[in-house]
A = this chain, B = another copy of it.
């Protein structure tokens, strides 16, 4: 006994509205159309669905049961329409962001918070990925966009990259680190303190190698590795250890005053933080909106950084 879903919806509307004409109006149909639908439904079922001669119209128990299903169909249909509307406007849906751990923790998570204040109906699914996995995730459509530092030339075909912040690394330490008292730092000053190693696979790892080479050492005194940003900062704040970190990550922590920049020039990677997307991916307005938000947030951040640098001498 397969019933026509449209008929069920019309049944529900008619009972909710109290009459055929009203129910038809509620659905944007004419009264005869609905009248016939009901007759067909009743014929199909073979049982009366209405109590005759009642205003407002009332259902038999069976009619009421069917109307209940009709109502859920109506609401499901309406939800589907809403989902599309919201999707098109970018005010609804899911954004799946992958990002390198430190940036996600230091900056993106805050921006996600801001974004959700603007678009409370958008859900953000965050995942921690470094470049290789991110490429796979984008191709496999597991994420909508990635936030990753990338060399300008590393971009494979089929991907687009929008830069949001030039890469710039610094050596971080706690604010009362003994090296900050030195007028002029030498390479061997750095090697006499323990170091924190970045997460394996992260771009900072290769940066650290570059620094090693520039200092002319083959290895550092690695005392801590594998920690997330919060762990690293906690570790740095408690010890005299040093770490290579993106400047912006340290900058984002300035209010907490737990880590600062050691004024020592290190070689800079030819990399930029940016948003990585697959060109063929099904577009998601919510994701684009989020990407826009992140971009402007970093744009603002650049200005703040500039003002800050003019006012503050780091490491003092």
Given contacts A3-B77, A5-B9, contact A282 B60 (CB under 8 A): yes
Is A312 part of the contact surface with B, judged by Cβ < 8 Å?
Answer: no
**Beta-carbon contact of A5 and B73 below 8 Å:** yes
Q: Can you name 5 A-B residue pairings with CB atoms under 8 Å?
A: A1-B84, A3-B84, A5-B6, A65-B83, A69-B76
Is A191 part of the contact surface with B, judged by Cβ < 8 Å?
Answer: no
Q: Contact partner of A76 among B58, B76, B83, B283, CB < 8 A?
A: B76
Is A156 part of the contact surface with B, judged by Cβ < 8 Å?
Answer: no
Task: Kindly identify, within residues 81 to 97 of chain A, every residue whose CB is under 8 Å from any CB belonging to chain B.
Answer: 81, 83-85, 87-88, 93-94, 96
**Beta-carbon contact of B8 and A61 below 8 Å:** no
**A96 — nearest CB in chain B belongs to which residue?**
B61
Having A47-B282, A66-B83, A66-B84, one finds 16 other A-B pairs with CB under 8 Å, namely A1-B81, A3-B80, A5-B76, A45-B84, A48-B282, A52-B280, A58-B141, A60-B141, A61-B144, A61-B282, A65-B93, A66-B80, A69-B77, A70-B76, A70-B80, A73-B76
The binding surface of chain A is classed by DSSP as helix
**A60 — nearest CB in chain B belongs to which residue?**
B282
A interface, CB within 8 angstroms of B: 1-3, 5-6, 8-9, 45-48, 51-52, 58, 60-62, 65-66, 69-70, 72-73, 76-77, 79-81, 83-85, 87-88, 93-94, 96, 141, 144, 280, 282-284
Q: Which chain B positions have C-beta within 8 A of A282?
A: 47-48, 51, 60-62
Q: How far, in Å, is A80 (CB) from chain B's closest CB?
A: 4
**Beta-carbon contact of A72 and B69 below 8 Å:** no
Q: Which chain B positions have C-beta within 8 A of A8?
A: 76-77, 80
Copies of this chain = 2
Q: Which chain B positions have C-beta within 8 A of A2?
A: 77, 81
Give Cα A45–Cα B285 distance, bound, in whole angstroms: 13
Give Cα A84–Cα B66 distance, bound, in whole angstroms: 8
**A85 — nearest CB in chain B belongs to which residue?**
B1
Q: How far, in Å, is A33 (CB) from chain B's closest CB?
A: 15
**Beta-carbon contact of B94 and A61 below 8 Å:** yes
**A45 — nearest CB in chain B belongs to which residue?**
B84
Q: Which chain B positions have C-beta within 8 A of A94?
A: 61
**Beta-carbon contact of B66 and A72 below 8 Å:** no
